[in-house]
């Protein structure tokens, strides 16, 4: 569809990361802006990436015993006011339907920002005995939290996500499930997206409105900012109490079940862009890439070139590799730039001389290097290279994450770490006062406190009190 265009220009990743991000999103057809404030259109290339993402995450969610369901997008406004913390957290960004045609609704309907309330309303009907537990469900849905501006994938009025919701007979079981789903996100991101996370508990201030506590996975972006990439909440009996969810236990006592919820969204596409991208554009992890191998015919007018490219495509496809042969009449150099911008992991260049020598030139997008490869057993070479690219992207990201994290002992060090585009790993007493002061002074918010910690005695970076834990602080999206 795109012909004879000039090479797409993108901003310099080192000097203008924000513009680089926007350029990459728009120029690779990942997304476009929608007409209403804060909305985006997910375009062909972005949606195919999302489909790959979704299929794999869905497989893992089902493997843990969850079934998919679908709840209504409209929730009576009164549902939100039942759980006090919940409504306080969500009220300012609730989109509310007040009118149908010319008729004013008796009770306004909220366009779901999350579905705990409407799901709890059903749970109260569905659950009555310990035999009904656990309930393990998940839904893929759109949710709405109004935004004044749009940062595609990162901050949009509407986004797509999955939200899992479970009920358990005991606190222990629910807490174990909260951790299980946190680990599922960590493994999924590592295995499928080549993205490493920091993970741990959110502070009281940053936790989900209505949860007892929230675990989070936080990604370290190329610019040293944090992106909250997924959360897993232990909700305790908070919602069960206000929505009257009860069950008769084995001991015949009527109890409230213990609840979890957890979600990951299209925001992860933002993480893929900002963790792996480089000065040439996207670098897509092979498992999620819509196109894993692009074949560019060289001197395609010469006899046999196109035929050989198609032959190689077919060989690779029988191995389940996603291949595109670029037969457009664009210039070869333009094609190289365009497919590098789009982050295709492997490019194979095949021309008359290559064919004569039984070779192709293989370009790896993770290293931006070329080398000749034999066309014999090309499917094995390509499959191994894709695996190698995945591992290398993960190692690169892990190294960058380590480089961009500074252990700090005082506010001076913390400030310097944040100012120079890093995470600060800092002892913190856990008080809201110190958290607010750290934010005020450095611009960094508390991201998460890992469960596993050293035994050494630490002193809060702000107030100096002795404390047990260190916490990641960073600026965030």
CA distance 286 to 193: 8
Q: Which of 12, 32, 187, 279 binds a second copy (CB under 8 A)?
A: 32
Q: Which of 18, 19, 96, 395 binds a second copy (CB under 8 A)?
A: 96
The stretch near a second copy (CB under 8 A) out of 16-24, 28-36, 225-233, 299-307 is 28-36
Q: Is residue 137 a contact residue for a second copy (CB under 8 A)?
A: yes
Strand order in the sheet with 423-427: 405-407, 423-427, 470-474, 445-448
**Bridge-partner residues for 167, per DSSP?**
135, 259
Query: Is residue 161 classed as helix, strand or coil in its secondary structure?
Result: strand
Going residue by residue from 102 to 131, which x/- string records binding to a second copy, judged by CB under 8 A?
x-----xx-x------x--xx--xx--x-x
Whether residue 360 contacts residue 373, with contact meaning beta carbons closer than 8 Å, is answered with: yes
Q: At what angle do helices 267-276 and 17-27 cross, to 10 degrees?
A: 120
Count of positions on this chain that bind a second copy (CB under 8 A)? 58
CA distance 275 to 394: 10
Q: Is residue 26 a contact residue for a second copy (CB under 8 A)?
A: no
Least gap, CB of 246 to a second copy (angstroms): 16
Q: Is residue 331 a contact residue for a second copy (CB under 8 A)?
A: no
Q: Is residue 144 a contact residue for a second copy (CB under 8 A)?
A: yes
Q: Which of 56, 64, 132, 191 binds a second copy (CB under 8 A)?
A: 132
**Complex with a second copy: residue 122 or 212, whichever CB lies closer:** 122
CA distance 214 to 203: 8
CA distance 163 to 69: 10
**Bridge-partner residues for 458, per DSSP?**
467
Whether residue 365 contacts residue 389, with contact meaning beta carbons closer than 8 Å, is answered with: yes
Q: Is residue 141 a contact residue for a second copy (CB under 8 A)?
A: yes
Q: Rounding to the nearest 10 degrees, give the CA dihedral for residues 410, 413, 416, 421.
A: -100
Q: Which of residues 36-95 bind a second copy (CB under 8 A)?
A: 36, 39-44, 47-48, 50-51, 67-76, 79, 91-95
**Complex with a second copy: residue 42 or 229, whichever CB lies closer:** 42
**Complex with a second copy: residue 129 or 377, whichever CB lies closer:** 129
> Which bin fits 453, alpha (ψ -120 to 50), beta or left (φ > 0)?
beta
Q: What angle do CA 452, 455, 457 make, to 5 degrees?
A: 125
**Complex with a second copy: residue 101 or 303, whichever CB lies closer:** 101
Q: Which of residues 160-179 bind a second copy (CB under 8 A)?
A: 160
**Complex with a second copy: residue 92 or 303, whichever CB lies closer:** 92
Least gap, CB of 40 to a second copy (angstroms): 7
Least gap, CB of 291 to a second copy (angstroms): 12
Q: Is the peptide bond before 134 cis (omega within 30 degrees of 0)?
A: yes
Whether residue 451 contacts residue 201, with contact meaning beta carbons closer than 8 Å, is answered with: yes
Whether residue 152 contacts residue 47, with contact meaning beta carbons closer than 8 Å, is answered with: no
Least gap, CB of 294 to a second copy (angstroms): 17
Q: Is residue 3 a contact residue for a second copy (CB under 8 A)?
A: yes
Q: Which of residues 364-383 bind a second copy (CB under 8 A)?
A: none
Residue 290 φ/ψ, nearest 5 degrees: -60, -35
**Bridge-partner residues for 325, per DSSP?**
295
Least gap, CB of 445 to a second copy (angstroms): 22
Q: Which residues bind a second copy (CB under 8 A)?
A: 1, 3, 32, 34-36, 39-44, 47-48, 50-51, 67-76, 79, 91-102, 108-109, 111, 118, 121-122, 125-126, 129, 131-132, 137, 141-142, 144, 146, 157-158, 160
């Amino acid at each position: 569809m795109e012909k004879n265009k000039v090479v797409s220009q993108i901003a310099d990743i080192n000097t203008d990361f924000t513009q680089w991000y926007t350029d990459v999103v728009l120029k690779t057809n990942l997304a476009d802006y929608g007409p209403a404030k804060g909305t985006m259109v997910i375009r062909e290339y972005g949606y195919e990436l999302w489909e790959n993402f979704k299929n794999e995450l869905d497989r893992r969610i089902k493997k843990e015993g969850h079934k998919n369901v679908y709840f209504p997008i409209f929730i009576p406004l009164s549902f939100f006011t039942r759980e006090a913390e919940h409504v306080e957290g969500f009220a300012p960004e609730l989109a509310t339907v007040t009118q149908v045609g010319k008729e004013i609704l008796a009770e306004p309907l909220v366009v779901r920002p999350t579905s705990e309330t409407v799901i709890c309303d059903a749970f109260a009907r569905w659950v009555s005995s310990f035999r009904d537990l656990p309930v393990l469900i998940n839904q893929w849905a759109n949710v709405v939290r109004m935004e004044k501006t749009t940062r595609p994938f990162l901050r949009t009025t509407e986004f797509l996500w999955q939200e899992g919701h479970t009920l358990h007979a005991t606190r222990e079981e629910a807490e174990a499930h909260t951790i299980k789903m946190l680990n599922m996100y960590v493994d999924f991101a590592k295995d499928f997206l080549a993205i490493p996370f920091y993970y741990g508990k959110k502070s009281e201030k940053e936790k989900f409105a209505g949860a007892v506590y929230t675990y989070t996975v936080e990604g370290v972006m190329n610019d040293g900012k944090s992106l909250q990439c997924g959360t897993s909440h232990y909700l305790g009996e908070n919602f069960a109490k206000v929505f009257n969810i009860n069950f008769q236990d084995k001991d015949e006592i009527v109890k409230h079940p213990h609840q979890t919820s957890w979600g990951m969204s299209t925001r992860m596409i933002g993480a893929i862009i900002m963790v792996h991208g480089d000065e040439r554009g996207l670098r897509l992890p092979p498992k999620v890439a819509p196109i894993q191998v692009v074949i560019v015919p060289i001197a395609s007018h010469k006899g046999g070139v196109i035929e050989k490219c198609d032959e190689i495509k077919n060989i690779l496809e029988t191995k389940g590799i996603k291949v595109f042969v670029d037969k457009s009449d664009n210039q070869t150099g333009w094609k190289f730039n365009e497919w590098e911008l789009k982050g295709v992991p492997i490019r194979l260049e095949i021309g008359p001389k290559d064919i004569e020598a039984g070779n192709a030139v293989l370009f790896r997008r993770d290293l931006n290097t070329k080398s000749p490869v034999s066309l014999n057993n090309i499917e094995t070479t390509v499959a191994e290279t894709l695996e190698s690219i995945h591992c290398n992207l993960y190692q690169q990201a892990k190294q960058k994450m380590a480089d961009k994290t500074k252990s700090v002992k005082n506010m001076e060090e913390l400030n310097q770490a944040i100012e120079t585009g890093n995470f600060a790993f800092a002892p913190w007493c856990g008080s809201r006062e110190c958290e607010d002061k750290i934010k005020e002074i450095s611009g960094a918010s508390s991201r998460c406190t890992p469960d596993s910690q050293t035994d050494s005695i630490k002193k809060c970076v702000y107030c100096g009190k002795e404390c047990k834990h260190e916490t990641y602080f960073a600026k965030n999206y």
